[in-house]
Structure formats: C-alpha cells, structure tokens
Amino acid sequence: MVAAIRVPKTKRARRELLKHAPKLVETGKKTLILHGTKTSAVLNSVLSDIYHLKRDNAVKYTKKNDNIRPFESGGESSLEFFSLKTDCSLIVYGSHSKKRPNNLILGRTYDHHIYDLVEVGVENYKSMESYVYDKKLAPKLGSKPFFAFIGEHFESSELKHLKEVLLDLFRGEVVENLNLAGVDRMYVCTAISPTTVYMMHCALRLKRSGTSIPRMELVEVGPSMDLVVRRHRLPVESLKKEAMKTAEHAKKVKNVTKDPVQGRLGKVYMPDQQVGKLTLSNDIKGLKRERREAKKNKEHSKKQKVNPE
C-alpha cells in the first residue's frame, strides 16, 4: 500500500517545507549520528567525541539499528528515512563486526538521498578524556576550525574523497567574514599511506611575536585516530550534476543601477522631438479645452456688459 502524499494546506506549512528543501547555497549542515546492530567500546567513544565536536549542529541516536547496509542495494533506505526525519544532510554510522572491526561510515545526502559514502576503520584511537591540558584552551562552542592536509596521497581518488567528506563534516557553518579570535582549533590530517590518514584535533594558542601577526602554537586536545579507508562510493553522475547546480547570473539590464537609498534607478533616452514638422488635427483635447475656456470668457464678458456695476 502506497502512502498518500500530504500537501501543505497553510502558508506557514509551505514556508516550513521550503526551509527543509535543498538550496543553491548551503550555509550549515546538520549531522546525524547512528549506532549499528553491534558496536564496540572504542566505536562508542568515537561517536560520542564526534557528537561533542558537533553538538551545536548534530542529532545522535543511541538505540541500535538493524538492517542498515549502505553499500548494498536497498540497504540505504533506513539512512534516507532518518535523514528526512531529522533534516540532516551528513551521516555518521558506526558498526563493529569480525570482518570489519571498529567500522565508521561517513556519508552525505542530497535532497535526503544518499549522495556519496566513505567507509573507514578506526585504529590507534585516543579519546578526548585521555588528554591532560589547561581547560581554558578547550575550543568554544560554535568556533571555526583550521584544516591542514599533509601528504601527497591526498591527490589519489580514495583520500581525496575522504578529504572532501571530512571538510564537510567538521567545517561548520559557511561564513564570509572571519574573526581571528573565533578560530581557536585545528584539524591536522596526515596521509601516512595511500589508504591511511592520521587525524588529530588541536587547540590553537595565539602568542605575542613582536609583530602584527601572532605566533601560533598547537596543543593536542583530542581525539586522535588513524582512519583506514576500506570502501568508498562516489556520487552518481546525474545526482552530482543536480547537486552541483549553481545560481544563474542575472542578466545585466542596460542603463539600470541599484542605489541603497533610492532603490532601483534607470535612465530613459528619448529621441529628439520635432514638433514643428508634426501635423496637428482638430481633435486634440488641448484645443477643445482652449475653445471651452474661450467660450466661457466670452459669455462672462457679455454678462458684465449687460449688468454693469
């Protein structure tokens, strides 16, 4: 039985649907964090740390979920359902098995359909709680991070794809202007091999350097881990073309300018008017008005002659 499509009946409901619809320019993306049928203690800690780093814009479900196999045909329907339910465009899914221990799947969606996927294995993991540092250095909620990708292996297909997903996952809201004081952390990703990336999270300290540019120091605050790429799925060409669509540039209108005070201004050019060569007919309204006024003046003058003061 096919469920009926519910159509919004009020303007308010239509506005809410437009907020959740895909946009040409996305400013911020929500992250959905899910647990698989079976998880390990390491993987639970990894998911908790990711949620802590994204807690201002993330949704986490702790209940175990069955029958989620994103790389198999039809196995991604549950992820798409949760993406639509929570209005999240980024997905982090953790599972643990003998064949793929400490397995982490990072995915992106477009219009709540799976766009691409990267499956990595977590090794040599250190949680945020295992690091000892001055708590004043802890990154603030909503701050913007720096990213450093070190190594020539990031030019390969697998790590290049992982780099794009990590940037989307941790960069936060897209802004045009940035205050240096609001950038207090940094993600350092080092390509150890063509399939392995060492990732660590550091706090950024700004110190005096005697110049206008401060000296920066990195203090590791965790988490840190090795990400070993196991599988990855690139987006379908048709979906990629639709997702990469950009806004069409507005056509420039000749002789039209915009002013912040007066609004839209335009110049109108008129040809020379040669009134002397135009033939005027007797049906012109202006001539009729002149005749009426002349007739009234004539009658008024006659009355004055008949009734002199």
CATH number for the domain including 61?
A: 3.40.50.10480
Note whether residue 142 is domain-resident: yes
Q: Where are the beta strands (DSSP E) in the chain?
A: 31-35, 58-64, 90-95, 103-110, 113-126, 145-150, 185-193, 196-207, 215-233, 256-259, 263-266
Note whether residue 255 is domain-resident: no
Query: For residue 101, what are the domain limits?
Result: 27-233
What is the SS3 assignment for 299? helix
Note whether residue 251 is domain-resident: no
What average pLDDT does the structure give for the chain? 84
User: Average of pLDDT values for 30-53?
Assistant: 93
Q: Quick check: 2 pLDDT over 90? A: no
- Other C-beta atoms closer than 10 Å to the C-beta of 184 total 18
Task: Write down the pLDDT at residue 25.
Answer: 65
Note whether residue 17 is domain-resident: no
Note whether residue 188 is domain-resident: yes
Domain count, the chain: 1
pLDDT in tens, 223-253: 999 999 999 999 988 888 888 877 665 567 7
C-alpha span between 36 and 47 (Å, rounded): 11
Note whether residue 137 is domain-resident: yes
Task: Write down the pLDDT at residue 298.
Answer: 81
Note whether residue 60 is domain-resident: yes
**Quick check: 121 and 158 in contact, CB under 8 A?**
no
pLDDT in tens, 271-301: 766 666 666 555 556 566 777 788 888 877 7
Q: How far apart are the first and last CA of the chain?
A: 101
Q: Where are the alpha helices (DSSP H) in 55-191?
A: 77-86, 157-170
pLDDT in tens, 42-99: 999 999 999 999 888 899 998 988 888 888 888 888 899 999 889 899 999 999 999 9
Note whether residue 192 is domain-resident: yes
C-alpha span between 270 and 50 (Å, rounded): 66
